[in-house]
Amino acid sequence: MATITRTPVGIIGAGPAGLFLAHLLHRQGIETVILESRSRAEVEGTIRAGVLEQWVVDLMNQMGLGERMMREGHFHSGITLRFNGESHHIDMAELTGGKRVTVYAQHEVIRDLVAARLEDGGEILFGVSDVQLHGVETDQPSITFRRSPDGPVEELRCDFIAGCDGFHGPSRQTIPTAIRSEHQIVYPFGWLGILTSAPPSHPELIYAAHERGFALLSTRSPEVQRLYIQVDPKDDIANWSDARIWSELHTRLEDKSGWSLTEGPVFQKGIIAMRSFVCETMRHGRLFLAGDAAHIVPPTGAKGLNLAVADVLVLSRALTAFFKSNDGDGLAGYSAQCLRRIWKAERFSWYMTTMLHHNPNETSFEQRIHLADLDYVVHSRAAMTALAENYVGLPME
């Protein structure tokens, strides 16, 4: 017979959505158990960039989770758009009443959240397998799993289940296809990203549109920089020597001003594909999807982690209202409320992606429209303000 335990909220996935949800609920006295298929080392060691919106930074500080972020993060008040060999600075702080973004890698956020969770005495079961959801349409849902591949089946009984287990996890697949609509764009290009040991070449991010393809200059620390170039997502990284990568970065990023990119040893590189994806609905019975289980954005708009946190902030408030006041309105409206914000973020991410990338499948007319869009953005205060408002983060409802 399976070992049975109980928790008010069972969380599947120890990514940003699951960890933030656990912390938010813990602060309301609502306990949770997190189930994660990867080891702690794998969770904390998956290197991912991160740009945090202003409200997410404020939330982390309010929760007492932001000390290392405030010490080691990079605070950017603007970005540079570069095209036709010219650079145009977007002063986001000036356009949005002082808001800015913080460059602080997602894996660093996760390390902070995991450490704080364990320090609080919260439970994270790493390395579980054979995770299955049961009874989500009833008031007694449960999750079965094994702590190891050969271990006995255990059952976690819950009042609610939060599916924070990413695009390939079991949670979304538990929702019947008859009531689950999925919307997707797979882009015909990807990003080749590198980490290099070098000092910063520029104080803020540079987004460059070039006829050879998009390029992005970002940062990770005073000693390590992160850069990307647009490539065929099916290309083999073995085809890209360091010399070839640097040549493309110089070509796509440098402008007529004489600014020069600083090179350094490349110690990590890889190619990622890009897609936009949304699942409607995000709720089925007592199962609630959050983060990448419900939506994916291309990295151009820097919205992925921020959307995940927005989801679980809404969900935590709804669960708190249910447990403390028996008020189920927030839970009933969870999917609709989240999707309003998600579709706006998807729109912005699609807009930034299509405007900045060279799409070989587009007509010359469409490509010229994107250049006209860039030209409009950098010469219209209204357009710059719209871009800045979206980039630093739309207000939470």
- Structure-token pair, residue 224: 């390590």
391 has catalytic annotation: yes
Q: Are 12 and 291 in contact (CB under 8 A)?
A: no
76 has catalytic annotation: yes
Residues 6+ apart with CB under 8 A from 187: 233, 273, 274, 275, 276, 298, 353, 357, 359
What does DSSP say about strands 153-163 and 283-284: parallel, antiparallel, or unpaired?
unpaired
Q: Are 282 and 341 in contact (CB under 8 A)?
A: no
DSSP 355: H
Identify the residue whose tokens are 């609502």: 30
Among candidate residues 23, 298, 299, 351, the one labeled active-site is 299
What does DSSP say about strands 153-163 and 181-186: parallel, antiparallel, or unpaired?
unpaired
Among candidate residues 207, 228, 334, 351, the one labeled active-site is 207
Q: Are 396 and 313 in contact (CB under 8 A)?
A: yes
303 has catalytic annotation: yes
Distance between CA atoms of 372 and 179, rounded to whole angstroms? 40
Among candidate residues 210, 303, 357, 370, the one labeled active-site is 303
Distance between CA atoms of 222 and 313, rounded to whole angstroms? 32
Q: Which of 281, 45, 272, 266 is nearest to 177 (CA)?
A: 281
Distance between CA atoms of 186 and 277, rounded to whole angstroms? 9
- Residue 105's H or E segment, with its range, is none
Among candidate residues 104, 228, 351, 391, the one labeled active-site is 391
Distance between CA atoms of 385 and 228, rounded to whole angstroms? 26
Among candidate residues 23, 76, 210, 284, the one labeled active-site is 76
Residues recognised as catalytic: 76, 207, 299, 303, 391
